Structure 1
Amino acid sequence: MKVLGINGVFKNIIYFFDFDHEGNLPTFYSSLALLSSGLLLFIISYFHKTNRLEHFQWKGLAFIFVFLSIDEITMIHEQLWMPTHKLFNTTGLLYYAWYIPYGILLLILLFIYSKFLMRLPKKIRWLFILSGFVFVFGAIGIESVSGYYDELHGQENLVFYIICTVEELFEMVGVAIFIYALLLYISDTIEHIDLKSTELLN
């Protein structure tokens, strides 16, 4: 049986809370928060559908957030890093090249959802915009800085860990604001939902 020394125990504890690693507590929290957003969006979609209101875009957002939750656990975006990096020979702020395809998809989604966003109640709309800005600033903006620093100095240093921690915190705060906006929208708009209905995902 393997017996860990004091250093091994501390390393395991650090890994469990490390924002720059996957399969630990921060990853589980982020994935759960994104999944919760997806479920709330499905609820709103169901309410709109049963009241014969526009619901396809709400359902589309729900699937997007479920995908992001899966991505957080399985690291799909990180698996795109090396192929995209080699394809475009990226460097500097584009060193972590996975956000090139993700950035393009984001711009497409912004175009598709622009009218939907403008139809939202003013307070909800601004909360959506704020949450999206905070999340993307962390996921792409600060991530690009961490990639730039990684290329120059590597990952095994305090500055890199600080950058990654700030990045993940921005992502978490962005999702938290989004969940608040969804709950506020539900409380202001939806009086009663029968969650026993099997039509929620239909």
Structure 2
Amino acid sequence: MRGELHKRIMIILIGAVMFLIVFHIALQYREHVAGTITRLEIGRFSADVTFWFDLNTERKVGAIFSTGLLAACGLLMLYSAFLERNQSTAAIGWVLFACILLYMAGDEFFQLHERSGALIGMKGKFGDHVVPGWVRVMAIVVTLLCILMSYFWWKLPIDLRVRLFIAAIVFLTGAMGIEIISSAYVMKHGPDNFAYAKLAALEEGLEMIGVLIVIDSMLLHIGNLSTRKREGERGLST
């Protein structure tokens, strides 16, 4: 059961994600369709709002927010490992998952996966579609991680297992699926247009929604663990 604090956290996070997506699309529409750059000017201070809220730009508002979401996932998993420290398989599994999420947080902020394209080959082919080099590497890494973590994953409660699976599908649809489509589009039309901006919003939006599902799942799991712990303590005291 989701407590009031859990519900409030999720409402705030969902609202923030929706705001970033809608604001990004609105600003990109003004720039590419209406031909207007949105700027914030206060005295001598001047900032390009469109640039700062572009979801496809590293180290700006969207990337910083996504980094925070991924880091929060990692910390929640570490806390779950602490709560389940008496169960070695669960504790080790959560620690490994946390390390992956914390690395992904750093990757989101510094765009390490895209920089790696220069080392492994920028583009490849999958049928008629252009595939960035890092997507090919990610496909291999994800496959290996699925194999390595499958034992821990099957040990999870069925409801948590299903939620995390859905989260992974949503996240990878944005991170890999939409990335392939947008890369093919850029090769033909370039990145400086409204259609590509909408693809970027879809990609980043799916990634953030996937992470939100993980956060919601972990909060629910931690709440269940805490409830069982309290009930066990009450049982011992009686």
User: How far apart are residue 45 of structure 1 and its match?
Assistant: 1.0
Contact 2:38/2:50 (8 A) holds in 1: no
Following the alignment from structure 2 to structure 1, what is the Cα–Cα distance between the partners of residues 60 and 110?
12
Taking structure 2 as the reference length, the TM-score comes to 0.73
| Cα 1:179–1:104 shift into 2, 3 Å | same
Of 211, 225, 230, 1:175 maps to 211
- 1:173 and 1:65 map into 2 onto residues whose CA distance is 15
Structure 1 length-normalised TM? 0.85
Q: Structure 2 counterpart of 1:139, which letter?
A: A
Give me the identity figure in percent: 25
Q: Which moved more, 1:139-148 or 1:76-85?
A: 76-85
Specify the code of the residue in structure 2 equivalent to 1:142: I
1:90 and 2:120 aligned: no
Q: Which of the residues 17, 24, 28 maps onto 2:53? A: 17
**Once the 2 structures are TM-superposed, how far is the Cα of residue 84 of structure 1 from its aligned partner?**
2.3
Shift of 1:67: 0.4
Higher relative strand content: 2
- Per the alignment, residue 11 of structure 2 pairs with none
Gaps of 5+ in 1: 1-5, 194-202
Query: Aligned ranges for residues 77-156 of structure 1 at < 5 Å?
Result: 77-86=113-122, 90-91=124-125, 93-156=129-192
Corresponding residue to 1:166 among 182, 198, 202: 202
Q: Work out the number of aligned pairs and report it.
A: 185
User: Over aligned residue pairs, what C-alpha RMSD do you find?
Assistant: 2.0
- Please, which runs of 5 or more residues in structure 2 have no aligned partner? 1-35, 41-46, 231-238
Is the 2:78–2:94 contact (alpha carbons within 8 Å) kept by the matching residues of 1?
Answer: yes
The runs of at least 4 consecutive aligned structure 1 residues that moved more than 3 Å come to 91-95
Decide which structure has the larger Cα Rg and report it: 2
The aligned residue for residue 81 of structure 2 is: 45
Q: 2:28 matched to which residue of 1?
A: none
1:57: which partner in 2?
93
